[in-house]
Structure 1
């Protein structure tokens, strides 16, 4: 390679602990929601019910979140992680997760869907015990109720963490030019 064609490698200084915490939390949230909404789709199919748009939407959003984390890990390994990639990817995923969060909130706490009230009335306040099919059905219903609440919680966490990554990436970018 001629001397005039030197490769210039930009070295951004990422806060390692914050980046690692972000990676672990977002990967956990994405993988959990991926499993929950995929299971919801299976339940709907098994019961011969239609699948609400939220379920495949969140499966795709969660899968994109997992893919994004592995992309970031690959870029970190090659020392090619740029703030712009994280800002753009985090913004896109934030919008997707916020959309899912709003719809999940409407289904969980809204006037029409109100899964939370139905869970309280028909499951939590109607405990079944013993070695019988009713107890097994109750445990399945309780699992579905808890999965809704878990998905909602992880959607909130992931939305906050995507905003955090946008801010952190902007700070890394800004500090590079100081």
Structure 2
């Protein structure tokens, strides 16, 4: 009888240890944990084009990729980077594990092409960021003065982000909402 109790106790300890390992294994395999802040759009200086800026933070242990952006405010939203004074369109941007992807003046940015209207200071432009691993994140970009520089701002009025409801990035990859 005593051997059975010891055997049962060892089996319970082993099962508990394995359960703990599987939970830790899920964390170790990693997943991106994305958040977006500091979003804004400078007031467009012409009726056709605008730029957008924000910061994506990944607190997860796996990288993700921003693959596209859609907005009802433009026929097309493209990803761009500026290096050595030259602007280039990008297919995607990596959001590193435990790191950030920064969209700021003079660097990475969104390019809104063929605007459906001309946003004014105080308006809000909605966008959907499409990630290869995390799906969609809805972001509100407040429209600021054309010369707005967040480094000099007090930190108020930043855009907000929320996970999208009901759709995945794969279902809307590269599409434009209207």
Q: TM-score, normalised by structure 1?
A: 0.22
Larger RCO of the pair (alpha carbons < 8 Å, separation 6+): 1
Larger Rg: 2
Q: TM-score, normalised by structure 2?
A: 0.22
Question: Which has the larger strand fraction?
Answer: 2
